[in-house]
A and B are shown apart, each in its own frame.
Chain A
């Protein structure tokens, strides 16, 4: 068992190393306007993703369930999905490329944080053996991935909107475009969050006969979803954009982190099992 844990931790460290290399190359490539370095930063990122995938699959086989029980598994899979979601969206929307400056470091910070937790084997409670739970968790993770991209553009807006922005900021799209990307990805996150809630309610109904129980995690998830709804309505109906929209989105993002990572620790929650 110790050997298996050692292999898993080693694979995670290797992935961290790749992601750190990717982050350094990417950030320096973007800031110092070295296009080749920036382009090549994707090599270690892809390599990191592959090693990371192997680590997740390897641990999945050992513990017999997906990466959603122990904190180390949860954070590691969050990191993996954040990176994978970025690559998938990048394929369809090449203009979001510069979001890598935020996405890469977020990914390595998540997986590095995962390593600090003991990866001990957690057995799967019987109510967790449902496909709806897997979908429920997966969609929340995908939502987090899209929200990280929206966060990147919100931060870019705040940085570029300053009276004297750094020279490298000129490489970023126009302010209007940055604002639009943040808006779009917040919308994507809103939808994935809704699908996550839907899958969760089906899971709860199939397990306990109650589709909504006002559990703390459910309540905070709904609150976060409505806050994103407020953000989207303010943008659409009240033409909120630019600085105010970026600040409001950052608030929404913090709310989503609280919902995903803090409320799960509340002992009274059914979800407490998930992130003990």
Chain B
């Protein structure tokens, strides 16, 4: 950006003149500074007498000490008067939100370590404390330096748990790192309007997790953009997918082998789901899509009690009108609701026929779920592509069925591990898109995703929720989301939803609404010590490729060669 040099890191920009712990601090801008150089979301440091306060700019205002000035502003040609008034009678004030404090004594003790290592190593993030007081009047405020950033967010070189996801606003080249260990241990959310770069940030986060081996991933890839090639808005060539970066550590599963063949994707496994895997809960999840009433759902239970968990669907679809009449008479079920249910489920079976198969007729040779669990257990990451079957109904059905079974496998493994003997199941991160469909207030209590989001890390399974409509997600779940990476959101309801469970959210609202529409995100929550606005790093550029190849366990040259070959 051309205006980066306007305010260099470490420049003093003003003094604290008022404020409160609850409402944030007000800084008067130095007369020589221009308000136009100050941008919401920028990371600044207030140097109090005893502490450093790491803060974020939340608002910029124009102030005047002379009331009459507003009635009779100087003429636009009156350069002298404008220069005289600037910084005296008229001035800029900046609202700051202090996020963390660090006692100055600690800082001095840490500095030698910092300079020796040249990284954030030796700086314990435990020394950073939540802000419990505020700096005195006239404390100087300066823009943050690279040392400040690495002190707070850690450095990639220092520890493999840190992963570079971007740079603070106006501070290109200075990495902000995500603490991956903390990231994967809770459910996380990546939000933003359509086209703001959610998918790219998700890819970057996933690359970090895979590269640093912090968890295994299961990605429900609705639009087939993670596994193999992804698309770049704005006409640039396709970008590499996870499979190209991490070769044998990523397996691509697909529901639509046709589409995979057309796109030239090498698929590891084709997923088929037998009727016997469908439970009533899966059908309930689709009640909006299938327009089901509560009565029809009760009817499902009647079928289950008659035919059992595995056969009910197959039996229902096979029924003819006589069967229905007989069944209704013997089981005290409303005939019209049973026929409605049959009709609707036939629609479902029809629309999903390429992967949903009647195992009572065909039999099924390999259980896809067991395959996926096996891959995940052995530490391989699984991308499930939906190909053409990206209708929400299909996506939700498959995601729910698979996740439910994977979750129960994980619960079993975890319980076995607790009883001793068995190894703990690996930390699993499940990535879902269009999450509001699974986690809406009406459904969150019933779907497996709601359960995972709530019980969180107890069973080593967490969610990575990617969504453009966070207001559609149950607030109870949103408040439990550990780390939120939020791109631009305009809708007030969505902004409110993202800031649920965040203290002192008022200042962040403005920051969120003023993000650029591309490659900028507000990161807050468990994996970062303080909320920060970042310019996200560019996915799949030269730098990213190099850093992925580095330390990935294999010879760097050969990885680079493989990546390039795949893409030639």
- Decide whether A and B assemble into one complex: no
B residues whose Cβ falls under 8 Å from a Cβ of A? none
